[in-house]
């Protein structure tokens, strides 16, 4: 440790750490638009400047040293920050009232904090074109402030590099390769760029209007499903503590919006485990390629199709729980309820914008009918609830509709990195041995670490498993397998760091502590659930008995499985 002087007070700092880190740890607020916690500094925005010996230095790119003295809010530093904000606003659209980030925009917040009340700098506005080519996200270059955070998360965290800087000086831009639409880039629609963008330059493509029009149509039966991670994150937008479980109030609120039926995707998470677990057991016995890799993250699936086409045979053929629910609703449920599947408008609420892409895939049609008709994110759900004047704090809880909502704890933990693996191992143990696992808590695959590995013994046989989240971590592991590593049998991959609890469609601006709280909540729900293994779900057993037959059977394969295609990449 070393001692430095900040604003005439002594604070402790670690030798060699960045000055910004030490200042913030001391409770002093210094603004920045470009700093990316955990990555090397870029020093792009210069808002974090502090005064040191009469000169301004970027605190995000300055290492602490013994005896260092600085002023974080001297007149010189504050004036510099205000000027930067004014210059950014000089070439920024004046459409805050219409912007999706209104009220949650870092640039807007800084303009308020630093008292920017007039436009001091005038000049010719840049001409930009809105990119709406993607089925999942929209890109508005006019609102881009060139902080570079989207470029960094895409390249350094996700290893996709769909966007990068082009041009120099005042002609600098962030663009796709050859400035093609985002749909022609290597983008996998994980949405992590949206979460780090400080303005509205990146946003999900909204389906709210489409959903409300369907609800208003008397000829449509509008059903909705919500993913496991939704109920432990949506409450934060209504002032609830991070991780608060809101399933009951959410079910009631969705009915008040006008949905005819409300289902829980955790049910088909259990169904996924029945199919995926059975598939793993079959492969482990020699009927397929190992290691088997999970397929419930559509961002990861597209990443594999683009960058690891030689490993597509390793992916489980199972559809994601979202798509399984859609297929079951328009087959089993429609038949049971006596409804024409063509009259059903099926909506899913997901923590992921790649789900918007997933529903457009040709493989996600059953007899020409799409499994899912529209996807809305957690953020869109919050806007919809507030539009209808609904507050989860004041709504009495209600159960979801059956027969497609009875879940197990195994289905609920799908929302966290490692949850799919743990759920699969609980049932795989039963499928292999015919017995129940004595300790259902497989803690070696839990946690927010980007990579976790374990050796699991099942009936005397050692199985190598790995769990990775974040596509750079996935690349590192897959490259090892390409190079000859052969001690792994089963791998879970989630595109988003931490899994669905930190998905690209989740609330913007949350802390790492909030994400950890969501994960803790999911495991708490699992711990207290009546059923904790997917094969014990009585409604899943009933579904197979009445309709599907058996896992990996003819009907379940038609409804619940898919295939993948090598994609050309522009990079």
Q: What is the pLDDT of residues 435-471, one digit of tens each?
A: 999 899 999 999 999 999 999 999 889 999 999 999 9
What torsion, rounded to 10 degrees, do the Cα atoms 508, 510, 512, 515 define? -80
Q: Which of 51, 275, 279, 305 is catalytic?
A: 279
| Residue 23 confidence (pLDDT) | 96
195 in a domain, yes or no?
A: no
| Residue 16 confidence (pLDDT) | 86
How many distinct helices (H) and strands (E) make up the chain?
19, 19
Contact 150, 136 (CB under 8 A): no
184 part of the active site: no
What CATH number corresponds to the domain at position 52?
3.10.20.740
514 in a domain, yes or no?
A: yes
45 part of the active site: no
Q: Tell me the C-alpha distance between 299 and 494, whole Å.
A: 8
Contact 448, 417 (CB under 8 A): yes
Q: Tell me the C-alpha distance between 107 and 251, whole Å.
A: 35
For range 407-419, the mean pLDDT: 97
What CATH number corresponds to the domain at position 506?
3.40.950.10
For range 201-208, the mean pLDDT: 97
Q: Point out the domain boundary residue: 124, 139, 160.
A: 124
Half-sphere exposure of 243 (CA within 13 A, CB side): 17
51 part of the active site: no
Q: Point out the domain boundary residue: 62, 94, 124.
A: 124
For range 150-173, the mean pLDDT: 94
569 band by pLDDT with thresholds 50, 70 and 90: low
146 in a domain, yes or no?
A: no
Same domain flag for 68 and 213: no
| Residue 571 confidence (pLDDT) | 44
179 Cβ contact partners less than 8 Å away, ≥ 6 residues apart: 166
For range 143-150, the mean pLDDT: 96
Provide, rounded to the nearest whole percent, the portion of the chain with pLDDT above 70: 99
Q: Tell me the C-alpha distance between 352 and 396, whole Å.
A: 27
Residue 3, pLDDT > 70, answer: yes
Q: Which of 51, 306, 358, 422 is catalytic?
A: 358
147 in a domain, yes or no?
A: no
Q: Tell me the C-alpha distance between 379 and 410, whole Å.
A: 25
Q: Which of 86, 363, 398, 449 is catalytic?
A: 363
**What are the tens digits of pLDDT across the range 470-521?**
999 999 999 999 999 999 999 999 999 999 999 999 999 999 999 999 999 9
488 in a domain, yes or no?
A: yes
Q: DSSP label at 79?
A: H
Please tell me the total count of domains within the chain.
2
Q: Would you call 466 helix, strand, or coil by DSSP?
A: strand
**What are the tens digits of pLDDT across the range 101-137?**
999 999 999 999 999 999 999 878 888 899 999 999 9
Q: Which of 236, 276, 380, 492 is catalytic?
A: 276
422 part of the active site: no
For range 91-105, the mean pLDDT: 94
**What are the tens digits of pLDDT across the range 271-282?**
999 999 999 999
Same domain flag for 300 and 411: yes
Alpha-carbon Rg of the chain, whole angstroms?
25
Q: Tell me the C-alpha distance between 437 and 426, whole Å.
A: 6
Same domain flag for 118 and 226: no
Q: Tell me the C-alpha distance between 80 and 47, whole Å.
A: 8
Q: In which residue are the tokens 């094969």 written? A: 535
Q: Which of 186, 278, 316, 348 is catalytic?
A: 316
366 band by pLDDT with thresholds 50, 70 and 90: confident
Q: Tell me the C-alpha distance between 194 and 137, whole Å.
A: 9
Question: How many C-beta atoms surround the C-beta of residue 495 within 10 A?
Answer: 28
For range 194-219, the mean pLDDT: 97
Q: Quick one: 55 exposed, middle or buried, by C-beta within 10 A (0-12, 13-18, 19+)?
A: exposed
For range 53-71, the mean pLDDT: 94
324 in a domain, yes or no?
A: yes
Same domain flag for 217 and 73: no
Contact 350, 230 (CB under 8 A): yes
161 part of the active site: no
Q: Which of 500, 521, 534, 556 is catalytic?
A: 500
Q: Tell me the C-alpha distance between 262 and 348, whole Å.
A: 10
232 in a domain, yes or no?
A: yes
For range 236-258, the mean pLDDT: 97
Same domain flag for 276 and 409: yes
155 part of the active site: no
Give the residue numbers spanning the domain of 53. 1-124
Average pLDDT along the chain: 95
Half-sphere exposure of 456 (CA within 13 A, CB side): 27
| Ramachandran region, residue 378 (left: φ > 0; alpha: ψ -120 to 50; beta: rest) | alpha
Same domain flag for 362 and 472: yes
363 part of the active site: yes
Q: In which residue are the tokens 């074109």 written? A: 129
Same domain flag for 213 and 120: no
158 in a domain, yes or no?
A: no
276 part of the active site: yes
Six-digit token pair at 419?
């949850």
**What are the tens digits of pLDDT across the range 162-180?**
999 999 888 899 999 988 8
Q: Point out the domain boundary residue: 124, 143, 158.
A: 124
Q: Measuring CA to CA, how many Å separate 530 from each of 39, 273, 398, 538, 564?
A: 42, 18, 18, 11, 36
**What are the tens digits of pLDDT across the range 305-350?**
999 999 999 999 999 999 999 999 999 999 999 999 999 999 999 9
């Amino acid at each position: 440790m070393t001692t430095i002087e900040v604003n005439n007070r002594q604070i402790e700092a670690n030798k060699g750490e960045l000055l910004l880190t030490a200042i913030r740890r001391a409770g002093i607020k210094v603004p920045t638009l470009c700093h990316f916690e955990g990555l090397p500094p870029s020093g792009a925005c210069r808002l974090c400047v502090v005064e040191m010996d009469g000169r301004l230095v970027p605190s995000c790119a300055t290492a602490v040293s013994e005896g260092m003295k600085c002023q974080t809010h001297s007149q010189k530093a504050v004036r510099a920050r205000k000027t930067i904000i004014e210059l950014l606003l000089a070439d920024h659209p004046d459409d805050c009232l219409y912007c999706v980030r209104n009220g949650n925009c870092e640039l807007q917040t800084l303009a308020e904090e630093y008292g920017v009340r007039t436009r001091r700098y005038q000049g010719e506005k840049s001409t930009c074109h809105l990119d709406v080519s993607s089925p999942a996200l929209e890109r508005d270059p006019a609102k881009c402030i060139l902080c570079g955070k989207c470029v960094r998360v895409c390249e350094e965290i996700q290893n996709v590099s769909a966007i990068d800087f082009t041009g120099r000086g005042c002609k600098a831009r962030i663009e796709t390769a050859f400035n093609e639409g985002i749909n022609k880039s290597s983008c996998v629609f994980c949405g992590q760029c949206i979460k780090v963008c400080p303005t509205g330059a990146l946003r999900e493509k909204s389906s709210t209007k489409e959903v409300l029009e369907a609800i208003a149509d008397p000829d449509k039966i509008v059903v909705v499903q919500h993913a496991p991670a939704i109920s432990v994150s949506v409450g934060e937008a209504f002032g609830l503590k991070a991780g608060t479980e809101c399933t009951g109030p959410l079910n009631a609120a969705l009915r008040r919006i006008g949905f005819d039926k409300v289902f829980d995707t955790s049910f088909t998470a259990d169904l996924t485990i029945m199919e995926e677990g059975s598939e793993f057991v079959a492969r482990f016995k020699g009927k397929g390629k190992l290691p088997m890799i999970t397929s419930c993250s559509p961002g990861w699936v597209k990443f594999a199709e683009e960058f690891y086409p030689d490993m597509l045979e390793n992916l489980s053929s199972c559809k994601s729980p979202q798509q399984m629910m859609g297929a079951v609703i328009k087959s089993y449920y429609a038949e049971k309820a006596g409804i024409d599947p063509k009259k059903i408008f099926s909506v899913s609420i997901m923590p992921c914008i790649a789900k918007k892409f997933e529903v457009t895939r040709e493989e996600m049609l059953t007899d020409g009918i799409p499994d899912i008709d529209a996807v809305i994110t957690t953020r869109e759900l919050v806007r919809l609830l507030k539009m209808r004047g609904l507050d989860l704090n004041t709504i009495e809880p209600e159960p979801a509709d059956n027969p497609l909502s009875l879940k197990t704890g195994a289905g609920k933990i799908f929302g966290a990195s490692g949850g799919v693996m743990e759920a699969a191992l609980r049932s795989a143990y039963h499928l292999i041995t015919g017995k129940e696992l004595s300790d259902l808590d497989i803690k070696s695959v839990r946690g927010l670490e980007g990579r976790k590995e374990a050796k699991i013994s099942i009936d005397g046989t050692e199985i190598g498993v790995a769990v990775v989240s974040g596509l750079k971590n996935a690349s590192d592991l897959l490259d090892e397998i390409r190079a000859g590593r052969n001690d792994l049998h089963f791998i879970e991959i989630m595109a988003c760091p931490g899994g669905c609890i930190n998905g690209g469609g989740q609330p913007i601006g949350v802390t790492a502590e909030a994400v950890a709280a969501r994960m803790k909540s999911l495991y708490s729900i699992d711990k207290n659930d009546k059923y904790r293994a997917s094969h014990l779900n009585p409604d899943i057993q009933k579904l197979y008995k009445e309709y599907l037959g058996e896992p990996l059977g003819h009907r379940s394969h038609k409804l619940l499985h898919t295939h993948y295609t090598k994609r050309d990449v522009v990079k």
